[in-house]
Structure 1
């Protein structure tokens, strides 16, 4: 079971990979996305995206600034205004 995760900025694609779960800093609070999540859109605030490659694994943290997230049939896409690193 895996979730397709893409992280992009206006300038480039930062990530495109299969993961277990992603936790996103939504403007109304953090939310986690697993495979099969219902379609959903949210703006995101400055913060940290946590990417879990497997169940129970320690997350990889990616700092982002602004943007939005969309969950659809193809997985989770995060369009961030800026990604550190």
Structure 2
């Protein structure tokens, strides 16, 4: 099953899609999120989100600066100060 992923900045909705996995640069260390992950929240540091659309696909890199990551039963939402 896919993971619902949203990336939001103060200016716009950057991504809203179904993916396989996202690796997030958390302030306490990088963490990966797959469908069914336990709910939690984390602050994120400046770094790269790695987005895998399929299990064996290459990861796409999205640069983010600061913010929060929230994992719920609905999926992963990243609220970033900036994203490129």
TM over 0.5: yes
- Unpaired runs of 5+ in structure 1? none
TM-score by length of 2: 0.98
Aligned equivalent of 1:53: 53
Q: Distance in 2 between matches of 1:16 and 1:45?
A: 21
Query: Root-mean-square deviation (CA), in Å?
Result: 0.5
TM-score by length of 1: 0.97
Displacement, 1:36?
A: 0.3
User: Segments of 4+ in structure 1 off by > 6 A?
Assistant: none
Aligned equivalent of 2:76: 76
Number of residue pairs matched by the alignment = 84
- Unpaired runs of 5+ in structure 2? none
